[in-house]
Structure 1
Amino acid sequence: MRIGFRTLKTAIGVSLSVLIAGQLGLLNFASAGILTLLCIQKTRRQSFNAIWERLLACLVAIAVSGLLFELVGYHALLFVLIFLILIPLCVKLRCTGGIASSSVIMMHIYVQKGLTLSFIGNELMIILIGLGMSLVVNLYMPGVERQIQELRRRIETRIENILRELAVYLKDGTSLWDGRELLELTALLEQARALGIQTTENDFSGRRSVFYTYYETRRKQVDILKTMMPLVSQVDARVEQGQRIGEFLDDLADHWNTIPGGRDYHERLRAIREYHRELPLPETREEFETRASLYAMANELERFILTLA
């Protein structure tokens, strides 16, 4: 059985919260551990949001429940009215994630059957210890650099393979490729998106992470490749124009990820376009459709080159 890092942080954070609250002699000290448990999230930003929501909801709950219990009396049925007021307030204040946590504090007030300054101070200390401990343990997040590098390698290898397979078909007029890499890329990009969001939400600056920008670029490139595939399949026979684009794709597969800005690929593609324009007009429907597919393919290749870093 593998114990995840978040599980380890939760276990340590909850234990320390209960220990500290207990050592301070607080009433209901174990509840500090519950608050810590509810605030440990996957990313720093999610954790900060959870802490803020629970802090705000707990303060609202103390005010609402304390006031009603003191005015009406400590009756269990009064929870109906309390929640009818508390939940809409939390929705309005955008702290609905803290409703469960605030309920714990309300139960303390109900069991105490009396609201004094010392008891309010006790509850505030429980809240501060529970939420504070979750903040401390969430400041450290495990590095994902190795995971990022492996994901990049797998994505780029498959893009390179797709470019080569398209080149083979255009040069040879046939291919045994089953398109597996394209299906794998869809899954890999979803992983990259999740990791990009995670790295962004762990960054205190609030800016998008470099890896999320990387994901967006690769997603655009894969979308272009998906558009190119049916165009390539419409080139039924080995034609000289197709072979030129095939050779272009073959060379692009070797250097697409290492050439800043596509370097001279813009000029090479422009030369291929000029060559196509100088050819005699197509004489048959098949030749016309092939020429149209190759023209559309050149447009997509230009879009692909524009995405190169």
Structure 2
Amino acid sequence: MKLNLKPYSIGYRTMKTALGVAIAIYIAQLLQLDYYVSAGILTILCIQPTKKKSIRAAFSRFIASLIGILYAFIFFEGIAYHPIVIGILIVLFIPLLVTLRFQDGFVSSSVILLHLYDAKNLDFDLLTNELILMMVGFGTALAVNMYMPSIEKKLANYRHEIENMYAAIFREIVVYLREGESAWSGKELMDARKLLEKAKALAYQDVENHITRHDNKYYHYFEMREQQLEIIERILPKITALPVIVDQTDLVADFLEDLSEHVHSGNTAYRYISKLDKVKENFAALPLPDHHEKFLAMAELYQVIHEMESYLEIKQAYKGFNTRKAEAPE
């Protein structure tokens, strides 16, 4: 049986976790804290993929630990330091954390609870020790997690890939309109859908890595492209369903060919809307169909023009990127 193993690699998050654990334990040792190795555990639990998640994790774990200390005082000091009491405490503790939406802090608070149980004497010095231990562990995690590598270049690459795919899709549509057939497999269409999902997820991660930022220009850009892709998916069946090639087919093909050569992130779609208005005028000026199949073809092509108008309006409404390119994009 062949195992499909992932390549061995050490990522930046792994490096930050290792560094954070070492720093937290070192500080805890310098402060001569009891259970100082637990500072490393608390740090591990708070290293998250993004800054905002790390802050939420630290807050959730700190509050959960404080609640755990209160429970320890009630159950251990009020009843007994006994394994059965720990079991009862946890049975009642977990539902409270879930109710308060601090369930992510259960593991870290359990570390503190077990310290208190092991000491069997909940006095001021122990409480101070645990509070400092939490501050060292959670604080170190937040400090090392403040560094996040820039993903701007990767987002820009996704943008260019998507634009190239859209251009390729339009070129294939042009081939079909002019020749009435195509060997295109539709690969770019499926790849564009997958890439948009990845790109949006990465753009959202970038939002999570900025404390005061609540949106991302790339995220809105990919959302806009996603809306456009839905329109492309709607016009493809109309193109492939054309019963015959009519004079109006060349008008639409010429327009789409021009559009395919200018797919970029600039926002001058109004120029192509003007060109599309000209296509409509030329469309209306051509002779009326002399049989039913030509009428159906003209009707489908007019629907394509209408959909492309919506496609361009979506781009025109988007204000995220500004470029100095002279040619108008879709």
Q: What TM-score, normalized to structure 1? A: 0.95
Cα displacement (A) at 1:73: 0.8
RMSD: 1.5
Residue aligning to 2:328: none
Q: How many angstroms apart in 1 are the aligned matches of 2:172 and 2:233?
A: 13
Q: Does 1:187 align with 2:194?
A: yes
Specify which structure has the higher proportion of helix: 1
Cα displacement (A) at 1:281: 4.5
Residue aligning to 1:5: 12
1:178-229 C-alpha deviation (Å, 9 max, x unpaired) = 1111111122112101111111111122321111111111111111111111
Asked whether the 8 Å contact 2:245–2:297 carries over to 1, the reply is no
Residue aligning to 1:271: 278
Residue aligning to 1:234: 241
Residue aligning to 1:58: 65
Q: How many angstroms apart in 2 are the aligned matches of 1:144 and 1:106?
A: 40
Q: How many angstroms apart in 2 are the aligned matches of 1:14 and 1:122?
A: 18
Asked whether the 8 Å contact 2:244–2:293 carries over to 1, the reply is no
Range 277-286 or range 180-189, more displaced: 277-286
Q: What TM-score, normalized to structure 2? A: 0.90
Cα displacement (A) at 1:85: 2.2
1:249-283 C-alpha deviation (Å, 9 max, x unpaired) = 00011123265231321122122223334445444
User: Is the partner of 1:255 in helix, strand or coil?
Assistant: coil
Among 40, 48, 51, the alignment partner of 2:47 is 40
Residue aligning to 2:104: 97
Among 72, 84, 87, the alignment partner of 1:77 is 84
Residue aligning to 1:255: 262
Asked whether the 8 Å contact 1:203–1:209 carries over to 2, the reply is no
Residue aligning to 1:110: 117
Among 175, 180, 183, the alignment partner of 1:173 is 180
User: Is the partner of 2:58 in helix, strand or coil?
Assistant: helix
What runs of 5+ residues in structure 2 fail to find an aligned partner?
1-7, 319-330
Q: How many angstroms apart in 2 are the aligned matches of 1:27 and 1:259?
A: 60
Residue aligning to 2:145: 138
Q: How many angstroms apart in 1 are the aligned matches of 2:16 and 2:182?
A: 52
Q: How many angstroms apart in 1 are the aligned matches of 2:205 and 2:265?
A: 27
Range 263-272 or range 196-205, more displaced: 263-272
Residue aligning to 1:225: 232
Letter in 1 for 2:177: L
1:280-304 C-alpha deviation (Å, 9 max, x unpaired) = 5444332232122111111110011
Q: How many angstroms apart in 1 are the aligned matches of 2:266 and 2:12?
A: 38
Letter in 1 for 2:226: R
Q: How many angstroms apart in 1 are the aligned matches of 2:235 and 2:264?
A: 19
What runs of 5+ residues in structure 1 fail to find an aligned partner?
none
Residue aligning to 2:327: none
Among 158, 174, 177, the alignment partner of 2:165 is 158
Q: Does 1:299 align with 2:316?
A: no
Q: How many residues matched?
A: 309
Q: How many angstroms apart in 2 are the aligned matches of 1:255 and 1:146?
A: 22
Cα displacement (A) at 1:51: 0.7
Cα displacement (A) at 1:68: 1.1
Asked whether the 8 Å contact 1:199–1:211 carries over to 2, the reply is no
Q: How many angstroms apart in 2 are the aligned matches of 1:30 and 1:214?
A: 46
User: Is the partner of 2:268 in helix, strand or coil?
Assistant: helix
Q: How many angstroms apart in 2 are the aligned matches of 1:287 and 1:38?
A: 67
Asked whether the 8 Å contact 1:155–1:189 carries over to 2, the reply is yes
Letter in 1 for 2:312: I
Among 122, 126, 129, the alignment partner of 1:122 is 129
Q: Does 1:67 align with 2:67?
A: no
